[in-house]
With several copies, the nearest count.
Chain A
Amino acid sequence: MAGIRVQAEDFDVGAEIAALTAGRVDIGGIGCFVGTVRDHGAGRRITAMTLEHYPGMTEQAMARIAAEAEARWPLQGCTLIHRVGRLEPGANIVLVLTASPHRHAALDATAFLIDWLKTKAPFWKKECFADGSEAWVDAREADDQAAARWAATAP
């Protein structure tokens, strides 16, 4: 049911919302999160980042977590898009959209899904710095804690 995409191209948030809600008159609210590339990380200026994924496994895992969100909250639809390849500061990285009759369900599911995408989905990020050097980003403990909080709580 959920729309799941991993793609190099940019996405259009307005068009994705329109696609999710087209012809529906039973939706109360749409929760949305758009992640974008920041020009700095760990105190260093970033000129670009490159995102890699595991084709097949990534999409499967995204479909599974979307199904879990749909089981936890009364969602009427859900869209997850994650970009891969080279992305420059200001570019969109990831989109989460959820539709629900209830605003808290939509926003809680959005937070749950972006926490998972940031901490559990098979993507790897390499940062490119102003001096030409590059480095793979280390997984951050704060992100693991953010995802862990969903393990113990029911909506």
Chain B
Amino acid sequence: MTGTVATAGTLRILYFAWLRERVGTSEETVALPATVTTVGELMAWLQTRGPGHAAAFAAGGTVRCAVNQDFAHADAAVRPGDEVAFFPPVTGG
């Protein structure tokens, strides 16, 4: 249940707009390391997954996030089974 397990379950991750283009996919399911418990930790970990991910999260301040379709800050919790989305500031209408 605690630090001894390598992963805590899976997470569905969505990317929109230029984050989707940089990562190279609109959606992926990742095995969540047990050490990743917040949005901020997830972003730091995702950056290590490849050059596309690194490019997507390089401009840290302008990336927004939603957890289970609610806007979320960097300190928001992420749990196995969550749907986490990353996107730029919205530019609708």
Q: Does B associate with A?
A: yes
Using CB atoms and an 8 Å cutoff, list the residues of chain A in contact with chain B: 35, 51-54, 56-57, 60, 82, 93-94, 114, 117-126, 136-140
Within the assembled complex, what's the spacing in Å between the Cα atoms of A114 and B92? 10
B66 touches A57 (CB 8 A): yes
Q: List 11 A-B contacts (CB under 8 A).
A: A54-B87, A60-B69, A93-B93, A94-B93, A117-B92, A120-B90, A122-B90, A124-B88, A124-B91, A136-B17, A138-B91
Count B interface residues, CB 8 Å. 15
Given A35-B93, A94-B93, A136-B17, 12 extra CB contacts under 8 A = A54-B85, A117-B93, A121-B90, A122-B16, A124-B16, A124-B88, A125-B91, A136-B88, A136-B91, A138-B89, A138-B91, A139-B89
B17 touches A126 (CB 8 A): yes
Task: From the candidates A35, A54, A121, A137, name the one contacting B66 in the complex (CB within 8 A).
Answer: A54
Shortest distance between the CB of B89 and any CB in chain A (Å): 4
Shortest distance between the CB of A37 and any CB in chain B (Å): 11
Query: Can you list, as one digit per residue, whether each of B47-66 has a CB less than 8 Å from chain A (1) or not (0)?
Result: 00000000000000000001
Q: Which residues of A lie under 8 Å from residue B93 when comparing CB positions?
A: 35, 82, 93-94, 114, 117-118, 121, 123
Q: Which residues of B lie under 8 Å from residue A51 when comparing CB positions?
A: 92
Using CB atoms and an 8 Å cutoff, list the residues of chain B in contact with chain A: 14, 16-18, 66, 69-70, 85, 87-93
Within the assembled complex, what's the spacing in Å between the Cα atoms of A19 and B83? 35
Q: Which residues of A lie under 8 Å from residue B91 when comparing CB positions?
A: 123-125, 136-140
Between B17, B89, B91, B92, the greatest number of chain A beta carbons within 10 A of the residue's beta carbon is seen for: B92
A136 touches B18 (CB 8 A): yes
Task: From the candidates B16, B69, B70, name the one contacting A52 in the complex (CB within 8 A).
Answer: B16
A57 touches B92 (CB 8 A): no
A139 touches B16 (CB 8 A): no
Given contacts A123-B92, A123-B93, A125-B92, contact A56 B87 (CB under 8 A): no
A139 touches B66 (CB 8 A): no
Shortest distance between the CB of B23 and any CB in chain A (Å): 14
Within the assembled complex, what's the spacing in Å between the Cα atoms of A57 and B18? 18
Q: Which residues of A lie under 8 Å from residue B16 when comparing CB positions?
A: 52, 54, 122, 124
